[in-house]
Structure 1
Amino acid sequence: MSGGPSPTPDVVVLVGNPRAGSRTRGVAEAVAEALLDRLGRPPSAIQVLELAEIVGVSFGPEPAYGARADPDPFAAVRSARLLIVATPAYKGSYTGLLKVFLDQFGHRELAEVVAVPIAVAASPAHADAAASALRDVLVELGTRVPAPPLAVVESQLADAHKIAAQWADQHSAAIDAPRAGMDYLEGRHR
């Protein structure tokens, strides 16, 4: 059937790297695929949003526009069942590009979305700090974060599929649980 709207993806991978096709995207897609595998769902329901292609940022007098605007990335994020957000660490936090995008959502606007924050950095401390900061902003937007963020050290990116599989093995049940993450969000995760 043609001409109708395309189905809404169950899983949206949001990549906050200012460089399209990055290793950050690779680890995020590996996590999405591993989670779907553990949950017995087909990987065909994944939509990847590369902010490097969608969001335009300019420091000059002229506004910048992304190369792609279709489909609506904000609608895709709002309607996702599972949102995997990945960023490289920049100065101990997530990228400004990701911040510009996420700032477009209102407080608790993503209350129906389960989120998985992922950060990639050169050192474990920077990866943990960025992952934690990303988790905090996603919670502020209302997402349910039922599992700890995934912090990946750049030197381990060659093993992205193995890291994703291990993380999914440990946390897929929490991701799939009804009202996923309420204990985690309410501070009972430790």
Structure 2
Amino acid sequence: MSDRSPSTPDLVVLVGNPRAGSRTRGIAEAVTVALLDRLGGPPNAVQVLELAEIVGVSFGPEPAYGAKAGPDPFAAVRSARLLVVATPTYKGSYTGLVKVFLDQFGHRELAGVVAMPIAVAASPSHADAAASALRDVLVELGAQVPAPPLAVLESQLADVYEIAAQWADQHSTAISAQRTGVT
């Protein structure tokens, strides 16, 4: 009954930092590892999408293309069972890369996807605002967000595995229930 192929990723990590290989990716991967540890069973596949490598932005009449070619990132996000979306905070919100990417999805197009938003910022109020805004847009797109977003301070990034483990301990049951359709 599923249109999922064996190569379709179960878990997609979407990193919205304009710099590939960032600390934002580090926290996203730490949360992914912690969730997989608590949810049990390896996923079909995990795919990391670095928006810095795949999103092109143009302010002129010609379209811009990202530098990295590969499988359709929009299809990967649409078909993910779990979606971890991580962004640094810019001016109190998620990055323009995340905005440009998510704007390509129509209303409710992510229905059936369980999402976990993560925001990194220098101040608690900015981290909370960006995480909340990211949660809101994911819900608008139809994703289920069964746990509160994770807001991480830049000063805490040395402890990403501890932060991820604590968050996963608190919220993996709700994520698992949503993932399996139990509410």
TM over 0.5: yes
Q: Which has the higher mean CA deviation after the structures are superposed, 7-16 or 51-60?
A: 51-60
Q: Aligned to 1:83, what secondary structure does the other structure show?
A: strand
2:8 is matched with 8
2:45 is matched with 45
TM-score (norm 1): 0.89
Q: Aligned to 1:133, what secondary structure does the other structure show?
A: helix
2:162 is matched with 162
Q: CA deviation digits over 1:80-122, x for unaligned, max 9?
A: 0000000000111100111000000000000010000000000
Distance 2:40 2:182 in 1: 23
Distance 2:182 2:51 in 1: 29
Q: Does 1:107 align with 2:110?
A: no
Aligned-pair distance for 1:40? 1.0
Q: Aligned to 1:9, what secondary structure does the other structure show?
A: coil
The letter for the 2-side match of 1:58 is: S
Distance 1:122 1:181 in 2: 36
Distance 1:174 1:61 in 2: 45
Distance 1:71 1:179, change over 3 A: closer
Gaps of 5+ in 2: none
The letter for the 2-side match of 1:160 is: V
The letter for the 2-side match of 1:104 is: Q
Distance 2:110 2:150 in 1: 20
Aligned-pair distance for 1:59? 3.1
2:143 is matched with 143
Q: Does 1:81 align with 2:89?
A: no
Distance 1:166 1:43, change over 3 A: farther
Q: Aligned to 1:12, what secondary structure does the other structure show?
A: strand
Q: CA deviation digits over 1:6-29, x for unaligned, max 9?
A: 611110000011110000001001
Q: Aligned to 1:94, what secondary structure does the other structure show?
A: coil
1:94 is matched with 94
8 Å Cα contact 1:122/1:154 also seen in 2: yes
Q: Aligned to 1:110, what secondary structure does the other structure show?
A: coil
8 Å Cα contact 1:144/1:181 also seen in 2: no
TM-score (norm 2): 0.92
Q: CA deviation digits over 1:9-54, x for unaligned, max 9?
A: 1100000111100000010011011000001122672110000000
Aligned-pair distance for 1:152? 0.2
The letter for the 1-side match of 2:47 is: Q
Question: Superposition RMSD on alpha carbons, in Å?
Answer: 1.9
1:67 is matched with 67
8 Å Cα contact 2:13/2:47 also seen in 1: yes
Aligned-pair distance for 1:126? 0.4
The letter for the 1-side match of 2:36 is: L
Aligned-pair distance for 1:74? 0.2
Distance 1:133 1:69, change over 3 A: same
Gaps of 5+ in 1: 184-190
